Structure formats: structure tokens, C-alpha cells
């Protein structure tokens, strides 16, 4: 049950029942199953249906803490040096059998549970969310669950949620809010939840474009590092026709010696698919609204 992106926190009544606010973590959305017959004590299924439990043996080892006939919806994150690391999570998600156990020791995984879809073999998809949350909290209390099982924080207070959006998103691995209605049923595949990301306004240098100089489609943006070197940091959303026409009058094809000569660009964060770009003279400054991503602590 994915979430629909919003620019602002929804007003009361926008979702069925009372609004419930949770932090949005930057991990892998996943389901945990403790159900037999199964090829092991725990199944860990990604949003796209891939089974990941062989790559996360630390979670499998902790399956004894959970009751049979359980399905949890939540976020899979990895903890490194006192903070969540998406880079470490990606590394663990592609690890082979020889390295999975070692990485589990070096980069422990945590499952942040935010919904309960089945308990004691009873399906809860048609039960209102408020009741599902109460049962999820009771599960953690009755079983005395601790790491790697984590109960997602939740608030009913709008002021608290806005504070989370401001302060918690300064922590690596927390990127916004997810909003639910206490009266909502669980609708697999429907974008029935809402999510609000923290966005910041900043400035960046236009260093390259996709499309052509006369018909730019998106911008590839850079920032100067501590040594004064222009580093690629972001790619814009597709330009509106009026913005593209205005920009085309200001772009100049790059001269030899552009700082991004030989740099390989990809279509999206974490992708290996190459992106064809046209280098331009890095003289234009764009004011942009951005979602923040971190890699290797920066």
C-alpha cells in the first residue's frame, strides 16, 4: 500500500478517521512473514516481490522473537557507525552467501514495523488502521520486542508532526512524514497513504543538460566542494516549455576543459543506466527546491 506524494501535510478529514503521522525512513519497503509452510522461519519480501531473507541472516536469526502466522509491513534499514546508511543497505541487499553473515555483523539490519497485516493467522486488511496499530503496539509489548525489531514512532498531533518534519529530517535516513487515517483499511497496491518529504531551497550551478542546447529537457546541477571543484549533485525534473525556452537563450555549449569532461552520469540515484548529457558552460546559477540524499556521510 504505497503513498501518494504531497507538498503539505493534509488537513483533518483528508483521510478516513483521525490523522496519524509517522517518520518516513529512507530504506527498503518490505514485508515480514512468519508463516508455514515456508522455506524457513522467516520470509522477507521486497516491495517488488523479491525474497531477501538470505541476505539478512540477522533478521532470520531474530525470527524466534516473533509469533507464527504474522505479517508485518515496514521499512528495512541498516545501521552503521551510529546512523542509518542507505549505501550499506544497498550493499547488503546484493550480498552473496559468503559475505551476508559477515556484513550482518558489520552492518546490522533493523526492521521498522509500521503496520500489522496478519496476526495469529488472522488477516487484518479490512480492519481499520487505528485497531491494527493498537494490536501492533500490543504485539511489541507482549513479546518484549527489541532490536532488530523496532516499532515505528507515531503521533496524532499536527504540531509534533511538523516538528518531526523540521528536526528529524536533519538525521541521515529520515526524509519526511507518512500520514495515515485511523479509519483506513489496507488496500494493497493503492496509493492510499500520503507522504510529505522535507524540501530545502538552495542554489546550484547548471553544468550540463539533457536534450539539446536549444531544447533542454532537464538540468544537471553542481556545487563547489571545499577545494573549489564543481561536483554533480542533482538532476532537475523535466522543464516546463516556457522555462526551457527561456533557458535556451542563456545556455552556451561547453568549451574544452569543462570540469565534467569524462564524467559518467546515470539516469537516477543508485542506477547504472547511463544518461546522455550535453555539457554547458557552468556560469548559470539556478535556485532549486530539493530532496536531500546522503552518501558516505555527505
Tens-digit pLDDT string for the chain (298 aa): 999 888 888 888 888 889 999 999 989 999 999 975 555 688 999 988 889 999 999 999 999 899 989 999 999 999 888 788 888 999 999 888 889 999 999 999 999 999 999 998 899 999 999 999 999 999 999 999 999 999 999 999 988 988 888 887 677 778 889 999 999 999 999 999 999 887 667 889 999 999 999 999 999 999 999 899 999 988 898 999 999 999 999 999 999 999 999 999 988 766 778 899 999 999 999 988 766 555 444 4
The answer to whether 272 touches 64, Cβ cutoff 8 Å, is: no
Q: What DSSP letter does each residue of 229-269 carry, written as one string?
A: -EEEEEEPPPPPHHHHHHHHTT--BPPTT-TTTT---BSST
- Write down the pLDDT at residue 233: 87
Residue 280 DSSP symbol: B
- Write down the pLDDT at residue 133: 97
Long-range contacts at 29-33 (CB < 8 A, ≥ 24 apart): 29/2, 29/73, 29/74, 29/75, 29/76, 30/74, 30/75, 30/76, 30/111, 31/71, 31/72, 31/73, 31/74, 31/117, 32/59, 32/66, 32/70, 32/71, 32/72, 32/74, 32/111, 32/113, 33/70, 33/71
Instruction: State the pairing for strand pair 149-151/109-119.
Output: parallel
Closest CA to 180 of 138, 136, 118, 145: 136
**Alpha-carbon gap, residue 250 to 215, rounded angstroms:** 12
- Write down the pLDDT at residue 249: 92
Instruction: State the pairing for strand pair 3-6/193-197.
Output: parallel
- Write down the pLDDT at residue 270: 63
- Write down the pLDDT at residue 202: 81
- Write down the pLDDT at residue 296: 46
Instruction: Examine residue 37 and say whether the peptide bond preceding it is cis (omega within 30 degrees of 0).
Output: yes
- Write down the pLDDT at residue 38: 53
pLDDT digits (tens, 9 = 90+) for 72-89: 999 999 988 878 888 899
- Write down the pLDDT at residue 297: 45
Given CA atoms 234, 274, 298, 259 in this order, what sign does their dihedral have? negative
- Write down the pLDDT at residue 273: 86
Helices and strands in the chain, H and E counts: 6, 16
pTM of the predicted protein model: 0.72
Amino acid at each position: 500500500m504505497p503513498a501518494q506524494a504531497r507538498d503539505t501535510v493534509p488537513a483533518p478529514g483528508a483521510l478516513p478517521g483521525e490523522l496519524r503521522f509517522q517518520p518516513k525512513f529512507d530504506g527498503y519497503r518490505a514485508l515480514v512473514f512468519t508463516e508455514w509452510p515456508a522455506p524457513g522461519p522467516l520470509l522477507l519480501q521486497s516491495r517488488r516481490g523479491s525474497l531477501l531473507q538470505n541476505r539478512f541472516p540477522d533478521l532470520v536469526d531474530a525470527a524466534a522473537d516473533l509469533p507464527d502466522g504474522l505479517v508485518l509491513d515496514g521499512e528495512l534499514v541498516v545501521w552503521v557507525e551510529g546512523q542509518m546508511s542507505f549505501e550499506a543497505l544497498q550493499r547488503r541487499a546484493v550480498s552473496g552467501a559468503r559475505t551476508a553473515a559477515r556484513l550482518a555483523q558489520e552492518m546490522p539490519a533493523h526492521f521498522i514495523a509500521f503496520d500489522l497485516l496478519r496476526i495469529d493467522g488472522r488477516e487484518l486488511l479490512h480492519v481499520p488502521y487505528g485497531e491494527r496499530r493498537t494490536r501492533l503496539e500490543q504485539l511489541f509489548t507482549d513479546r518484549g520486542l527489541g532490536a532488530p525489531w523496532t516499532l515505528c514512532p507515531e503521533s496524532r498531533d499536527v504540531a509534533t508532526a511538523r516538528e518531526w518534519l523540521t528536526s528529524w529530517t536533519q538525521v541521515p535516513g529520515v526524509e519526511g512524514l507518512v500520514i495515515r487515517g485511523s479509519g483506513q483499511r489496507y488496500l494493497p497496491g493503492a496509493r492510499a497513504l500520503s507522504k510529505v518529504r522535507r524540501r530545502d531551497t538552495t542554489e546550484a550551478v547548471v553544468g550540463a543538460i539533457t536534450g539539446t542546447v536549444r531544447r533542454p529537457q532537464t538540468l544537471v546541477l553542481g556545487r563547489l566542494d571545499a577545494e573549489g571543484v564543481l561536483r554533480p549533485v542533482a538532476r532537475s525534473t523535466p522543464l516546463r516549455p516556457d522555462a526551457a525556452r527561456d533557458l535556451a537563450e542563456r545556455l552556451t555549449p561547453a568549451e574544452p576543459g569543462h570540469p565534467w569532461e569524462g564524467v559518467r552520469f546515470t539516469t537516477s540515484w543508485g542506477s547504472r543506466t547511463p544518461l546522455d548529457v550535453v555539457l554547458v558552460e557552468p556560469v548559470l546559477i539556478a535556485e532549486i527546491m530539493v530532496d536531500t540524499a546522503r552518501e558516505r556521510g555527505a
